[in-house]
Amino acid sequence: MQVIRAVGREAAAKKYDLLSAMMAHGLAGDKHRQRLVLRLMALITTRYNWQRDELTIGQREIARLWCVDERTVKREMAKLRALGWIEIKQQGARGRVSVLGLNLERILLDTKAEWENIGPDFVTRLTGAAPESVSNVVPLHRAEPVAAEGVWGEAQARLAAEDRALFDAWFAGLAEAGVRDGCLTLFAPTRFHASYVETHLLERLRIAVQRSDGSIVKLRVLGP
């Protein structure tokens, strides 16, 4: 999958591709998903700075745009943060609003199942001709998948469905070591493996785990 960067000569087409993916995802869901996606699309099309990856708008302005009260804005924005679709880049303080950014990779992962609804040309354009590749780094040790149940088992299923190649390379070999005080600890087969996951893939791991159990607020990946 190619992560969309809406810059350069094809910037306009890339923006439409992202919005089209979101639209297809929303239309395939229930009314709650449709409304949430539509509201985010409204923010993107009216206030999002594509070049700087910045969304700067106050809750009062969002409420006016969405035709809702500010409590609804807080609730809906919390949902979008929990999904990983928006991130806080700079926390607001002293009367200044927070600066938000979009996690384009997360949005594309979550909408991928509905790309076919747009058409095979759209799928080809977003996936590219080459096989999926997130990194040129290859793990030094390819561990056999460790069967898991419960929260980690559910999270593994989500990660495998999102990107099978990435799952086989980095997530399949992680073993659950338990949950304590809202922290899930995972063991990796090597220290390099643990370091790479924590450095490059922890956010994707966190979202998969929290979608399985929202009470888990912290993750640790340890090596031998």
Q: Which tens digit of pLDDT belongs to each residue from 134-144?
A: 455 555 455 45
pTM for the whole structure: 0.71
Architecture of domain 11-108: Orthogonal Bundle (1.10)
**CA 7-8-12 angle, 5° bins:** 70
CA nearest to 81, candidates 98, 103, 105, 112: 103
* Average pLDDT of the residues in 138-156: 66
Fold type of domain 150-222:
GMP Synthetase; Chain A, domain 3 (3.30.300)
CA distances from 17 to 50, 131, 195 (A): 13, 20, 34
Measured CA to CA, the distance from residue 37 to residue 79 in angstroms comes to 11
For residue 102 the two structure tokens come to: 């979009």
Percent over 90 (pLDDT), the chain: 53
Residue extents of the structural domains in the chain: 11-108, 150-222
Tokens of 174: 């992680």
Which of 12-16, 34-38, 219-223 shows the lowest mean pLDDT across its residues? Answer: 12-16
CA distance 49 to 56: 9
Contacts 24+ apart (CB under 8 A), 200-204: 200/135, 201/166, 201/170, 201/171, 203/84, 203/103, 204/106, 204/109, 204/159, 204/162
Helix ranges (H only) for 119-201 are: 120-127, 150-162, 164-166, 191-196
Average pLDDT over residues 126-131: 62
